[in-house]
Structure formats: C-alpha cells, structure tokens
Amino acid sequence: MSKRDLLADQIQNQPFGSNLCVDRNRLARIHRTSGTTNRPLLLALTDHDLDVVTSVGSRGFKISGMHQDEIVFNCMNYSMWMGGFTDHASLERTGAAVVPYSVGNTEALVALLLEFDSPSLHSTPSYLNIIKRVLKEKFGKNPKDLGMKAGYFGGEPGMQNKAFRERIENEWGMRAMNANYGMSDVLSMIGSEGLDRDGLHYLPGPHLHLELMDTDGNLVPVEKGAIGEAIFTNLDKECQPVIRYRSGDIFHIISEVERSNGLDFKFNVVGRADDMLVVKGINFFPESLRSIISKHAELSGNYQVEIPSEEPVEHITVKVETAHHVKDKELAKLLQAEIRKNLFISPDIKLVEHLSKNGNKLKSIVRI
C-alpha cells in the first residue's frame, strides 16, 4: 500500500475511505495529515487507538529526557494535524505541564516565553529561525535570553545531523533532542532518541510490524546493519489500519534487534525513497545538503530544493535561508563550489530571508 492508494480510496469512499473497520459511533476523534506533499488524509481513531498513540508517544518523550517538572510549549499545528493535539496528549502523559500554543502569533509566544523560567519547546526545527527573528526585531534579544531548558523536535529532517544540532545548542543554550519521528497515517510517533543521542529508539513494539525493502523490491531482514525502506503493518489499530504500507523513509538499523517483546532496536532515517533525484545521472538526496549548509553561521540551516516538474532533471536550484539578512554573491558561489566538490552536482544558489512553509512544516522539495 502507498499513500496514493489511501488518497484515491478516500476520494472514492468519502470521507474516511473503505478501511474504517468500526461503526461510526465508536469514533473518538478525527485528525488529518499535514498535506505537505498531497491532499490531506482524514484519520479516524477510537479510544483504543488514541490510548496506543498516547502511550507510545509519552514513552518516546520520556526517552528523550522529558520530566514532570518541565513546562513545555507545544508549538505544533493544532488545526486537525496529529502533531498538535495528539502530541499534546502524549506530552501531558509524561507528567510535564503543557502550554497548547500551536503556530502563529510568534510575537506573543516570545513575550510569554520570556515570563517563564527555563521553559522547554516542542516544535519543528525550522520554527526556531522564526522565533529568533522575532526575538531580535521586536524585543532586541538573543535566543539564549529565553533560558530554554530543552527543545524536543520533530516533523522535519535535520536533527540527526551533528553540525545542525550543534548550531542549535550553541545558539540557544538548550539541549536539542530528535524527539519525534513518526507518521500520522501509521501511528503518529515511531522513534525518539535517548540522552546518549546515538540513534532513534523504535517505540511501537507489539503495535506495529516492520519490514524493510531494498530498491529492487526485495525484503531485507530486520537486523543490525540493514538498510531499506520501512514497510509498516498495524497490528491492533481499530480505525483505518494500514497493511504493508510503504513509508518512503529509508531506515538504517544501527543496533541489535531484540525480539522478546516486539521489536526493540535503534535506527536512523537516512533519506526518503521518493526524494532521491537523478541530476544528470548523479543520485542525489536533498538531505545530503544539510551538513554543508549547517557549517555556515550566516545561514539559518533551512533550505528548499526547487526542481522542474518534468523528468529528466537536468538542473536544480537550492534556496537557502539566511540568518542575518545576508545576500552575499560570494557566499552563494562558495556554497555552490562546496556542493559540487562533495555531491558532484552544481545547483543554482538563491539566498533568501524567509522560506515559505505549509503551516509549521518546511517542504524539502518544491516542483516548479
């Protein structure tokens, strides 16, 4: 199964598709996916489904170091997206106090954060640059002036990159955790890193069956060292269970796999199967740009790759968000040279002050 199948099914069998699997009077809540790459999927859940999602999610946040004495500002989108309200419930189950702020009105958010002692934040990593800009322009302050204790990040790639994480920690003075990897249409949270920060813990255990598939469509054993696209099957989901569902995410299993109580292991997400581009015969993953861009203090670390709508892809443009209103042609040339040296492609580089976002999420690839 793929998301394309689910979307087509929901269009034909509105509103929930043909795999609802329970009577409507058992529905407890309705969400939808973020819709960053497609039409949003409607997601229905029973009380049982919500309990599984929340228990798995709270375990993930605890693994990432969240304690009951924390005050966590949840700056994920509450407008039906699973990452807002459902993550809020998972945060609360850790015992922490949760501020349901959502996204938007960042000036009021910053004013409130300044009133609290050692607040924590749950958001996408790209939202930090918006907070930083408001801090400087409206309050004349720097990120460290907020005195943040920790940042629990998810919804976007990047936090596994050491240089990107170190930039956040050095600039903000907080512990930055890759706390929330997941898929709304599968189980919301699926992976969180621990304080040792050596990979994501696989959280679902007995609730989700995992298979790995190589680029030729062959199954790969789930064991240490294995690399493949994650294929998920819900084992006890009552509403809209997915069966052998292609995630598009490429997993690298980096620890031994314990099978005594479901699957228990650590992994990294090394790319997306549908994000791999072939540019003049060169295989290219947009995420590979992050280590190059994150080294430059003049840049925020956020970027988008613009590609033509039609194949083959002969040329791409990388739009890079600046941190200090920099529009330096020499910096653009330097970036282009570093990318050519390391990745063997020569994209156009556009330095921009702000990148457009869908809600609180940043697309890595934009087709034009």
C-alpha span between 154 and 214 (Å, rounded): 26
Q: What is the pLDDT of residue 267?
A: 97
Task: Find out whether 311 and 344 touch, Cβ atoms under 8 Å.
Answer: no
CA angle centred on 268, ends 264 and 270, rounded to 5°: 145
C-alpha span between 344 and 230 (Å, rounded): 28
Q: Would you call 276 exposed, middle or buried from its count of C-beta atoms within 10 A (0-12, 13-18, 19+)?
A: middle
E strands in 207-255 = 208-213, 219-220, 227-234, 245-253
Please identify which residue in the block is written with the tokens 């409206």.
Answer: 138
Rg of the chain (C-alpha set): 20
Q: What is the pLDDT of residue 311?
A: 65
Task: Find out whether 151 and 175 touch, Cβ atoms under 8 Å.
Answer: yes
C-alpha span between 57 and 110 (Å, rounded): 26
Q: Give the pTM.
A: 0.81
Q: Would you call 309 exposed, middle or buried from its count of C-beta atoms within 10 A (0-12, 13-18, 19+)?
A: exposed
> What are the 10-residue block averages of pLDDT along the chain, 368 residues in total?
91 94 96 73 96 97 97 93 91 98 94 97 92 95 97 88 89 96 93 95 95 94 96 97 94 91 87 73 78 87 86 82 77 91 88 77 79
Q: What is the pLDDT of residue 180?
A: 95
Beta bridge partners of 188: 183
82: left (phi over 0), alpha (psi -120 to 50) or beta: alpha
C-alpha span between 231 and 65 (Å, rounded): 28
Q: pLDDT digit string (tens) for 128-137?
A: 988 999 999 9
Q: What is the pLDDT of residue 358?
A: 64
C-alpha span between 239 and 41 (Å, rounded): 13
Q: What is the pLDDT of residue 35?
A: 63
Please identify which residue in the block is written with the tokens 């069966």.
Answer: 243
Q: What is the pLDDT of residue 178?
A: 96
Closest CA to 82 of 28, 31, 155: 31
